[in-house]
Amino acid sequence: MELTDPSDAAVYLVRFGDKAALIDAGSGRNHQQLVRNIADCLEPHVHLEYLLLTHCHYDHVGGATAVRDEYGCLIVAHELDAVYLESGDSRVTGAGWYGAQLEPFAVDIKLQWRESSISIGNGTVTAIHCPGHSPGSVVYTTEIDAQLVLFGQDIHGPLHSELLSDEKQYVASLTRLLDLHADLLLEGHFGVIETKDEVRSFIEYWRSPLGVSHYAVLYAPDDWRVSQENAHDSGELSERTEVKGN
């Protein structure tokens, strides 16, 4: 099995009996290698039923149309991000960061609620709305071998105004993820993080003031400077720091 393309975020495959789902699709720049990798994991009789998108960013969704055309699967995304996928918004989806344009595509199932259950073969995946990195960011959870598996792409951010990120929502979402007590975290750019303690430590770091600023400063220093000045002027900074430290 070979890697697909450097522009791809992680793509995960989960199987439940004779049905399976793909979590995110990468950028689509090496679709055929992705197909070969899936074939290495799935027997021919197993149907790839769903493509579960975690959010609208290009490195996660650029290959969505090719995956649907290849497997006849249904594309699932939150309605708050679906609008940018269906309009082909290359700014909000970050496609421009990759020197690309996002071709618009239809989302078959638009998630609307805080939590939704998706039946796949003999298993169930729970979709949880976790806004912050993007308006419609979603994590997916499932239980495998008595372990809670968290597909949490881009838990680390970044936060950027072009992506319509929201720091308060982001911190609140990470707090909610901590309450899941997941045993395994499958992250979009940091790979697989295992043991409950390591998962908790990873999420707690990115929820902390240091973690929130890590990518914000790297990708959007002006956004970060303005947000800190506004927080200081309004007296929100000390309150936000206290919440993050819990």
Please check the confidence at residue 236 and state whether its pLDDT lies above 50: no
Can you tell me the mean pLDDT for 123-145? 96
In this structure, is residue 7 part of a structural domain?
no
Work out the pLDDT band at 215, boundaries 50, 70, 90.
low
Per-residue model confidence (pLDDT) at position 120: 97
In this structure, is residue 97 part of a structural domain?
yes
Query: Whole-angstrom Cα distance, residue 9 to residue 24?
Result: 8
Please check the confidence at residue 232 and state whether its pLDDT lies above 60: no
DSSP category for residue 189 = T
Map residue 194 onto helix, strand or coil.
Answer: strand
Residue with the larger pLDDT of the pair 65 and 241: 65
- Count how many domains the chain has: 1
Please check the confidence at residue 223 and state whether its pLDDT lies above 60: no
The strand pair at 191-194 and 184-187 is best described as antiparallel
Please check the confidence at residue 68 and state whether its pLDDT lies above 80: yes
Query: Whole-angstrom Cα distance, residue 206 to residue 196?
Result: 16
Per-residue model confidence (pLDDT) at position 237: 35
Please check the confidence at residue 231 and state whether its pLDDT lies above 80: no
| Strands lying side by side in the sheet with 109-111 | 12-16, 19-23, 47-52, 74-78, 109-111
Please check the confidence at residue 171 and state whether its pLDDT lies above 80: yes
Nearest CA to 134 out of 193, 58, 202 is that of: 58
C-alpha 7: how far from chain center: 15
221: containing domain: 12-244
Work out the pLDDT band at 240, boundaries 50, 70, 90.
very low
DSSP 203-237: HHHHHSHHHHHHHHHHH-HHHHHHHHHHHHHHTHH
Per-residue model confidence (pLDDT) at position 158: 84
Work out the pLDDT band at 154, boundaries 50, 70, 90.
confident
Work out the pLDDT band at 155, boundaries 50, 70, 90.
confident
Query: Whole-angstrom Cα distance, residue 32 to residue 147?
Result: 32
Q: Give percent of the chain above pLDDT 70.
A: 86
CATH number at residue 135: 3.60.15.10
Q: Where are the alpha helices (DSSP H) in 28-166?
A: 31-41, 58-61, 64-71, 79-86
In this structure, is residue 6 part of a structural domain?
no
Q: Return the top range by mean pLDDT from 45-59, 185-199, 200-214.
A: 45-59
Could you check whether the bond before residue 158 is cis, i.e. omega within 30 degrees of 0? yes
Mean pLDDT for the chain overall: 87
Can you tell me the mean pLDDT for 189-207? 91
In this structure, is residue 67 part of a structural domain?
yes
Please check the confidence at residue 130 and state whether its pLDDT lies above 50: yes
DSSP category for residue 147 = E
In this structure, is residue 200 part of a structural domain?
yes
Q: Give percent of the chain above pLDDT 90.
A: 73
Query: Whole-angstrom Cα distance, residue 162 to residue 34?
Result: 29
Per-residue model confidence (pLDDT) at position 221: 44
Per-residue model confidence (pLDDT) at position 229: 58
Phi/psi for 188 (5° steps) reads -75, -25
In this structure, is residue 48 part of a structural domain?
yes
In this structure, is residue 92 part of a structural domain?
yes
Given its phi and psi angles, is residue 20 left (phi above 0), alpha (psi -120 to 50 degrees) or beta? beta
In this structure, is residue 203 part of a structural domain?
yes
